[in-house]
């Protein structure tokens, strides 16, 4: 097939990019070479629209062993242990084929983690769907949840936390973000950088088929009506093979046989071989006749671009081939020597004794375009001037019930019950709390992890929204008694060629950068997912933050369940009653305009660190951060979780009952303490200049506020569960 401009455009390349490729090569590429360029130069692999902005993020810190640029980030958790973690998107595939899209998303992120030598110990996910009324939502939700559970459960990895959101902006483009944490010894971390000349390049795992060809390019395209035609671009997962691959790789990693290892994820054999060679500043030679194929008559183009799952590429030390082969034979996996490293600095591919590709590595990797796209700033919206009369006919109890039944706030137990969250026996805080917590096996340490996003805040004002998502993650770590260590991010946005969307991305990123720097909460890995739109309708900007924290002694962990009658609940942080962009404004007042709540980074840090100190000193019985829905929703969740009621003190200097109880001011927590510790805790809070008040006293089964509110926990629990 003769390659021309039209074929290049069909491969997702711009006309200018095709021209640049011809200039670099000083000739027209053949179809296989074009395939390599289209894979390596698309948004998913090259980060061409985001690269210049991502460089600004803080990526180093005392505990950071490996920041962005590898398969996953790595942090030090003491005693020679390290945690490897990352979050990735699998949005487009999951919209086309929900079960397989979500399943292979989970499989892919787990491979990123065990490629680095770590055994996966926990999975998380953040999934966003269209309106609950939309005709596709139910099936998509069902398929995605089954896919996540199906893969993770078969691998025997617990799913310890997650997030499920609904918003009409995802009607035509759902989001499926999967996160994995793994445990590794500090001296046993493996990297993807190839080294040495004439070292054997090994293919292991499943056979290569025709599934998933152009998966990476499809992930960098906008959807239209021809969605069904894209099904062949979705990969098909097999968790049982992945489990064998995990065990075989970890067995080979015991000694120093492996020089470098890379999973075949997006763009399959293309990206794995080119990235390894590029990082090692050397060349690579492949013989495609040696690649194990499950289908007959596959072409070099298909073999190089297939995204069949459960495959790895390894550069071995010379003389270790037989030993490695024995291990992979034992686990019943394919093992083939398909090439070698060279000093040519090119990728050279042979098929049927002909050389079918010869391209310098740097053309595919370093020379990928880098765009500084035009972007538009989002103005801070003006605050809504609300006529206070709108509150006249509202009753606090009715508002509370309505908000608790909101699909974004109600219990997601019916979802996470489909995931195995206790397998391996180390989960000490299951889904449904502020963060999932998992014990580091055989030690007293525990790791907390959560995923958060806040699309409506980011949509209203991306800069503030970006800060908020990081702060929310930070508070979730603190609420379980963990010291926040680092984050991973999955940045889901619309088409970057539109100035508004690009602006949302740049400003959200700015917000993330500001908050991460201030809180000393570095970004160690991540992923950008652009082009999340259908027929010109993009999603709300949705940066998802995966936070990881450390608890040195798991016995000090706290949950949000209220513990004991007569204990005092303190409200930490100031309440101004910010209603704009709150669930109350949208659900009750039908108001969607206005700015998100302000972020005061000093208060976030100070309040959070003080609460953590109180937890570590043993004063706090339970804790919960206050986020969506405001004060009353947060306390209701604590009451339902602990099956206790609360007698609420009448608020002092009240702005207005509804703004006070349902406003979404940031930087706030609830903590439960014993009566006789009150004086001591007060003095610690005052000395740390933390604003607080006595919110109420724990009692039997009702939430009571003088003559304003009296409702049983049982009724609220029923409402939360049945929606």
User: Where do the H-state alpha helices sit in 524-652?
Assistant: 583-587, 601-616, 631-642
Strand-pair partners of 312: 204, 263
What sign does the dihedral 36-40-41-42 (CA atoms) show?
A: positive
User: How far out from the chain centre does Cα 56 lie?
Assistant: 20
- Tokens describing residue 534: 């259908």
- Report d(CA 130, CA 205) in Å as an integer: 36
Tell me phi and psi for residue 450, to 5 degrees.
-145, 165
Q: What stretch of H or E contains 17?
A: helix 15-25
User: Where do the H-state alpha helices sit in 593-698?
Assistant: 601-616, 631-642, 657-662, 678-687
Q: Which residue has the tokens 């290049």?
A: 8
What sign does the dihedral 82-69-152-638 (CA atoms) show?
A: positive
- Give the number of other CB atoms < 10 A from CB of residue 14: 14
Q: For 624, which DSSP code?
A: E
- Give the number of other CB atoms < 10 A from CB of residue 149: 22
Q: For 501, which DSSP code?
A: H
User: Residue 75: helix, strand or coil by DSSP?
Assistant: strand
- Report d(CA 211, CA 236) in Å as an integer: 7
The alpha carbon torsion through 125, 129, 132, 136 (nearest 10 deg) reads: -120
- Whether residue 661 contacts residue 650, with contact meaning beta carbons closer than 8 Å, is answered with no
- Whether residue 163 contacts residue 123, with contact meaning beta carbons closer than 8 Å, is answered with no
The alpha carbon torsion through 21, 27, 28, 33 (nearest 10 deg) reads: -70
- Report d(CA 119, CA 420) in Å as an integer: 17
Q: Which burial class, exposed, middle or buried, applies to 423 when counting CB atoms under 10 A from its CB (0-12, 13-18, 19+)?
A: middle
- Report d(CA 38, CA 217) in Å as an integer: 7
Residue 419 CB-half CA count within 13 A:
29
Strands (E), 51-174: 64-66, 73-76, 81-89, 119-129, 159-166
- Report d(CA 435, CA 466) in Å as an integer: 20
Q: Is residue 44 flagged as an active site residue?
A: yes
Task: Give the length of the chain.
Answer: 723
Catalytic residue (choose from 11, 44, 128, 461) = 44
User: How far out from the chain centre does Cα 30 lie?
Assistant: 37
Catalytic residue (choose from 11, 53, 90, 128) = 90
- Whether residue 488 contacts residue 443, with contact meaning beta carbons closer than 8 Å, is answered with no
User: How far out from the chain centre does Cα 59 lie?
Assistant: 17
- Report d(CA 520, CA 605) in Å as an integer: 10
User: Residue 38: helix, strand or coil by DSSP?
Assistant: helix
What sign does the dihedral 468-473-474-480 (CA atoms) show?
A: positive
Q: Is residue 90 flagged as an active site residue?
A: yes
Catalytic residues: 44, 90
């Amino acid at each position: 097939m003769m390659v021309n401009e039209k074929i290049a455009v069909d491969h997702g390349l711009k006309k200018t990019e095709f021209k640049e490729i011809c200039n670099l090569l000083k000739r027209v590429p053949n179809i296989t070479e074009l395939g390599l360029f289209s894979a390596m130069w698309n948004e998913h692999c090259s980060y061409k629209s985001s690269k210049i902005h991502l460089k600004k993020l803080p990526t180093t810190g005392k505990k950071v062993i490996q920041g962005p640029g590898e398969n996953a980030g790595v942090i030090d958790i003491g005693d020679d242990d390290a945690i490897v973690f990352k979050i990735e998107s699998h949005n487009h595939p999951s919209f086309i084929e929900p079960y397989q899209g979500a399943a292979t998303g989970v499989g892919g992120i787990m491979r990123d983690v065990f490629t680095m030598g770590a055994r996966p110990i926990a999975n998380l996910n953040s999934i966003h769907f269209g309106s609950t009324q939309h005709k596709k939502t139910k099936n998509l939700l069902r398929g995605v949840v089954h896919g996540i559970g199906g893969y993770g459960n078969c691998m025997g990895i617990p799913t310890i936390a997650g997030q499920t959101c609904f918003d009409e902006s995802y009607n035509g483009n759902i989001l499926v973000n999967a996160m994995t944490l793994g445990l590794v010894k500090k001296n046993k971390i493996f990297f993807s950088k190839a080294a040495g000349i004439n070292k054997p390049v090994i293919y292991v795992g499943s056979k290569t088929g025709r599934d998933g060809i152009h998966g990476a390019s499809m992930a960098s395209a906008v959807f239209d009506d021809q969605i069904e035609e894209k099904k062949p671009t979705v990969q098909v997962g097999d968790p049982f093979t992945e489990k064998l691959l995990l065990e075989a790789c970890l067995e080979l990693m015991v000694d120093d046989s492996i020089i470098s290892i890379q999973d075949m994820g997006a763009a399959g054999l293309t990206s794995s071989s080119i990235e390894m060679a590029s990082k090692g500043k050397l060349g690579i030679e492949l013989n495609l006749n040696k690649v194990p194929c499950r289908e007959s008559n596959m072409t070099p183009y298909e073999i190089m671009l297939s995204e069949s799952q459960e495959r790895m590429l390894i550069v071995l030390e010379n003389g270790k081939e037989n030993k490695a082969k024995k291990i992979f034979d034992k686990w019943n996996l394919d093992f083939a020597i398909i090439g070698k490293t060279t000093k040519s600095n090119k990728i050279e591919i042979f098929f049927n004794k002909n050389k079918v590709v010869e391209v310098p590595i740097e053309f595919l990797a370093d020379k990928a375009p880098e765009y500084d796209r035009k972007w538009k700033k989002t103005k801070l919206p003006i605050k809504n001037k609300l006529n206070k009369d709108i509150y006249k006919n509202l009753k606090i109890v009715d508002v509370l019930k309505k908000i608790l039944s909101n699909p974004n706030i109600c219990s997601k137990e019916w979802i996470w019950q489909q995931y195995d969250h206790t397998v391996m026996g180390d989960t000490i805080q299951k889904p449904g709390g502020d963060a999932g917590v998992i014990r580091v096996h055989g030690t007293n340490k525990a790791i907390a992890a959560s995923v958060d996003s806040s699309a409506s805040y980011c949509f209203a004002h991306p800069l503030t929204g970006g800060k908020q998502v990081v702060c929310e993650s930070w508070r979730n770590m603190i609420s379980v008694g963990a010291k926040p260590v680092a984050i991973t991010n999955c940045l889901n946005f619309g088409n970057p060629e539109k100035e508004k969307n690009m602006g949302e991305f740049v400003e959200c990123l700015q917000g993330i950068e500001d908050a991460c720097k201030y809180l000393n909460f570095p970004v160690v890995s991540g992923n950008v997912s652009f082009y999340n739109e259908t027929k010109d309708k993009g999603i709300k900007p949705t940066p998802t933050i995966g936070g990881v924290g450390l608890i040195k002694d798991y016995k000090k962990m706290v949950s949000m369940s209220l513990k004991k009658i007569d204990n005092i609940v303190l409200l930490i942080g100031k309440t101004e009653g910010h209603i704009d962009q709150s669930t109350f404004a949208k659900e009750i007042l039908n108001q969607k305009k206005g700015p998100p709540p302000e972020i005061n980074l000093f208060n976030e840090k100070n309040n959070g660190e003080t609460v953590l100190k109180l937890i570590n000193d043993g004063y706090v019985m339970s804790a919960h951060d206050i986020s969506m829905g405001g004060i009353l929703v947060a306390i209701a969740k604590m009451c339902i979780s602990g099956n206790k009621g609360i007698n609420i003190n009448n608020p002092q200097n009240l702005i207005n009952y509804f703004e006070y109880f349902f406003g979404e001011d940031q930087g706030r927590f609830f903590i439960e303490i014993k009566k006789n510790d009150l004086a001591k805790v007060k003095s610690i809070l005052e000395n740390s200049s933390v604003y607080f008040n006595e919110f109420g006293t724990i009692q039997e089964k009702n939430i009571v506020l003088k003559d304003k509110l009296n409702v049983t926990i049982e009724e609220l629990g029923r409402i939360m569960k049945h929606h």
